[in-house]
Amino acid sequence: MTRHFLNLSDAGGDAVRAMLDDALRRKQQRLQMPKGAADADAPLAGHTLAMIFEKNSTRTRVSFDMAMRQLGGGTIVMESGSTQLGRGETIADTARVLSRFVDAIMIRTDDHQKIVDLARYATVPVINGLTDDSHPCQIMADLLTVMERRGGLAGTRWAWLGDGNNVLHSIIEAASLMDFSVSVGCPAGYDPSIEVVEAARKLGAAVDIIRDPAKAVAGADVVVTDTWISMGQSHAEEKLRTLEPYQVTPAIMAAAAADALFLHCLPAHRGEEVVDAVIDGPQSAVWDEAENRLHAQKSVLLWALGKLG
């Protein structure tokens, strides 16, 4: 069976735990090494990852590229607009062809169905680098960051403030696999997908939707937010106004646990979903979180290519 990573549940809780443990171990082992040097075991020597981008990216692009270098392999970056995909070649045919050239494919796209189709026709692993529905690689980095800072995930209380988007969907999915709770503070009309919430609840996760932002973060160990306007959405003044009460401010952080962490996948829209005093403040873990994209994705690549778990 080809191991695709379209969502966290493709791997399951045990494999996610194994990936996070491996990521922590590899991160520790290369503290003094130059960033482009390969890990001592170079487990993906000779392997190539193709990366298809149908949307902008800074972190995903650089972290996957460096991840492959550190694992001893290489990458090919494909901006979809300059490939035949951009001229209408089908996803299925692209999957068939790329599978003959490379060992794995990472794609960032809009409609989630495109990555499902890519995985269906590819004979090599396909990894989700963000779709309109989910962002599992980001959440692997978030889980790693909370593990490092808190020593574990089980029983932690996470609060999300803002738009019920792709990043939140992957957090909710993670809650059901890793045994933590999510309290979602968002206005009516901006809820996460009810299917995602119900699937997590069915697996035993506590996921609550709370309209009052201060109540949503009360006692939380982790406070998370993201842009109010995701890529592909049109800039809507009304949406910005509706979400204003959900801005993460020092007053909001004060309603969470005293030692709560602040996370944001980045890029941040300072002055919209978060203010400088929080993202640059002592509770913010966003730079570790960004770095952890690299470490977490190395382990995702190793899992997908059958070298782990």
Segment near ligand NVA (CB under 6 A); pick from 7-15, 160-168, 187-195, 203-211: 160-168
265 is in an annotated binding site: yes
Q: How far apart are CA 5 and CA 257, in angstroms?
A: 33
Write down the residue that tokens 């735990």 correspond to: 17
Check binding of 51 to ligand NVA (CB under 6 A).
no
Q: Which of 231, 269, 291, 307 binds ligand NVA (CB under 6 A)?
A: 231
Q: How far apart are CA 196 and CA 129, in angstroms?
A: 19
Measured from the CB atom, the residue of 169 and 295 that comes closer to ligand NVA is: 169
Q: How far apart are CA 298 and CA 25, in angstroms?
A: 11
Catalytic residues: 108, 135, 138, 226, 265, 293
Paired with 52 in beta bridges are 78, 107
Q: How far apart are CA 200 and CA 73, in angstroms?
A: 36
Measured from the CB atom, the residue of 227 and 292 that comes closer to ligand NVA is: 227
Q: Which of 9, 48, 181, 230 binds ligand NVA (CB under 6 A)?
A: 230
Q: In this structure, what token pair is assigned to residue 19?
A: 């990936």
Q: Which of 99, 109, 165, 297 binds ligand NVA (CB under 6 A)?
A: 165
Binding-site string for ligand NVA from residue 241 to residue 270, where x marks contact by CB under 6 A and - marks none: ------------------------x-----
57 is in an annotated binding site: yes
Q: How many of the chain's residues bind ligand CP (CB under 6 A)?
A: 8
186 is in an annotated binding site: no
Segment near ligand NVA (CB under 6 A); pick from 118-126, 144-152, 216-224, 227-235: 227-235
Span 89-118, contacts to ligand CP by CB under 6 A: none
The three-class DSSP label of residue 159 is strand
Q: List alpha helices for 126-285, DSSP H.
A: 136-150, 166-178, 194-202, 213-217, 237-243, 250-255, 276-279
Span 252-281, contacts to ligand CP by CB under 6 A: 265-266
Check binding of 29 to ligand CP (CB under 6 A).
no
Cβ neighbours of residue 275 closer than 8 Å, sequence gap 6 or more: 247, 248, 249, 250
Measured from the CB atom, the residue of 19 and 130 that comes closer to ligand CP is: 130
Check binding of 58 to ligand CP (CB under 6 A).
yes
Helix H or strand E segment including 181: strand 181-185
Q: How far apart are CA 272 and CA 236, in angstroms?
A: 13
293 is in an annotated binding site: yes
Using CB atoms within 10 Å of the CB of residue 253, give its burial: 0 to 12 exposed, 13 to 18 middle, 19+ buried.
buried
Nearest to 137 by CA among 126, 148, 151: 126
Segment near ligand NVA (CB under 6 A); pick from 31-39, 161-169, 207-215, 299-307: 161-169
Binding-site string for ligand CP from residue 131 to residue 160, where x marks contact by CB under 6 A and - marks none: -------x----------------------
22 is in an annotated binding site: no
Q: In this structure, what token pair is assigned to residue 133?
A: 């529905």
Write down the residue that tokens 């890793």 correspond to: 178
Q: How far apart are CA 242 and CA 298, in angstroms?
A: 38
Site residues for ligand NVA per CB under 6 A: 130, 165-167, 226-227, 230-231, 265
Binding-site residues, in ranges, read 57-60, 84, 108, 135-138, 166, 226, 230-231, 265-266, 293
